[in-house]
Amino acid sequence: MTTHTHMNFVKVCKLEDIPSQGARRIETPMGEVALFKTSDGQVFALRNQCPHKHGPLSEGIVHGHAVTCPLHNWVIDLKTGEAMGADKGCTPKLPVDVCRDGQVYLGLTLDTEEKIPA
Ligand code: FES
């Protein structure tokens, strides 16, 4: 059985809907995603699950380009989804694009054999 994947960018919210140095939770066909906005105005998207014990990263503290998990304080790199320091683990990251009109688009990798609406 062959599977084909392609990237499907969907409009999820406006840039201003994400609090600065905070996060917004988005429901997607692939599960919950956390959109983070850093103090320099960049936006990152990670699956809303800590690689440790699935803590909700959207409720963590954003600092620099990292978020501290609210459950046991693991620090996750927003660019890579990897745990920093001595901790080992990685949460999936998703591509995100902010258009000039201030809309935020999230890239969802869709397996075309799954019945997921485009
Ligand atoms: S669940 Fe995130 S640090 Fe434990």
Provide the residue ranges of all domains of the chain, joining segments of one domain with +: 20-94
72: exposed, middle or buried (C-beta count within 10 Å: 0-12, 13-18, 19+)?
Answer: exposed
* Whole-prediction pTM: 0.87
Assigned CATH class of 20-94 = mainly beta
- Mutation pick for ligand 1 pocket among 46, 47, 49, 53 (CB with most ligand atoms within 8 Å): 53
Tokens of 12: 């999820």
60 Cβ inside 6 Å of ligand 1: no
75: exposed, middle or buried (C-beta count within 10 Å: 0-12, 13-18, 19+)?
Answer: middle
The reported pLDDT for the residue numbered 55 is: 98
106: exposed, middle or buried (C-beta count within 10 Å: 0-12, 13-18, 19+)?
Answer: buried
The reported pLDDT for the residue numbered 60 is: 98
Q: Ligand 1 centroid vs 63 CA: distance in angstroms?
A: 17
- Mutation pick for ligand 1 pocket among 71, 75, 84, 88 (CB with most ligand atoms within 8 Å): 71
The reported pLDDT for the residue numbered 114 is: 44
pLDDT in tens, the chain (118 residues): 445 556 789 999 999 999 999 999 999 988 999 999 999 999 999 999 999 999 999 999 999 999 999 999 999 999 999 999 999 999 999 999 999 999 999 998 755 444 444 4
Q: In whole angstroms, what is the distance from residue 73 CA to residue 85 CA?
A: 11
